[in-house]
Amino acid sequence: MLNSLLKVLLALLLLFNSITSNAAEEIPLLSDITLDSSYAQHTIRGQLRPSYYTVISAGISAKLLSFPVVVGQLIEMGQEVARYDCSVQDSNVAIAIARRDASKQRTAVNERLQELGNIGALELALAEAEQLMAEAELQKEKAVMAECIVIAPFSGTITEKFVQAHQYTNRGDQLFELVDTSNLEVEMVVPSMLLRSYKPGAAFSIHIDETDQLVQVRLDRIVGVVDPVSQTVKLIGKIIDDVEGLLPGMSGSVEFHDAPLIDR
């Protein structure tokens, strides 16, 4: 009876040792666990965006006399885009000039009277202060007049018009959107776990879906914020190839190279 019991216990002990040894072989140590290679092999998508773009707003409250540009038109830096009816503003400038001239005359007369001892220093100081205020008022009206003609701040394409000629606009109303399509960037979103692999200056290419072109790009900057929900970060690259036919909004797949590219 005792021998049978000993045999059963020995068999159970051998079975336990076998199970634990197999489990140790199947369960890896925490130090041996590495990141999923799919992180490095997943497809990165990039989108073209303009480096310079803006929405031009009205600088004054007045009626538009002319606004001849159309959506899709290419305009040059310094080109007149729109013109306002500034009859009222022109009159205000004329009034400010008259007040400035009158204050100058008053100051000159008071200077002479003080030399003769007919007025004190206070009267002269007040006259000089009035002249300074008149000069400032004139500069203010001239600044308003400068808003009567809308000038393109940089070369680009009109992508949207929000008003038309002969409309009355208030100061701050949106007039048009201007996009510089000649200087495009590549924007992409990648997993933050890959951030250590991407440094400014790194070379990559983007295959544009719409034009079937392969464009060379250099990583320019990393937006220093990680999205806590998606665990992603935004990267911005500068196109270094001279490629025609690219437009903002085009997209494609991105592939990083091993060595940085040199500007051509």
* Architecture in CATH of 53-83+150-179: Beta Barrel (2.40)
Question: Could you tell me if 84 and 60 are in contact, meaning their C-beta atoms sit under 8 angstroms apart?
Answer: yes
Q: Which residues contact 213 (CB under 8 A, 6 or more apart)?
A: 207, 243, 245, 246
Q: How far is CA 114 from CA 71, 100, 105, 122, in A?
A: 64, 21, 14, 10
Residue 134 clears pLDDT 60, i.e. is over it:
yes
In angstroms, the CA 52 to CA 14 distance is 75
Mean pLDDT of the chain, nearest integer = 84
What tokens does 174 get?
């949106």
Share of the chain above pLDDT 70, in %: 81
Q: Nearest 5°: phi and psi at 188?
A: -145, 160
pLDDT at 34: 39
In angstroms, the CA 65 to CA 175 distance is 13
pLDDT at 29: 36
* Architecture in CATH of 38-50+181-256: Beta Barrel (2.40)
- What CATH number was assigned to the domain covering residues 87-146? 1.10.287
DSSP 115-172: HHTSS-HHHHHHHHHHHHHHHHHHHHHHHHHHTTEEE-SSSEEEEEE---TT-EE-TT
pLDDT at 5: 53
Q: Which residues contact 132 (CB under 8 A, 6 or more apart)?
A: none
What tokens does 134 get?
């008149």
pLDDT tens-digit series, residues 148-204: 999 999 999 999 999 999 999 999 999 999 999 888 999 999 998 888 888 889 899
pLDDT at 40: 44
- For the chain, the structural domain boundaries read 38-50+181-256, 53-83+150-179, 87-146
When mean pLDDT is compared across 33-42, 70-79, 122-131, 162-171, the lowest value belongs to 33-42
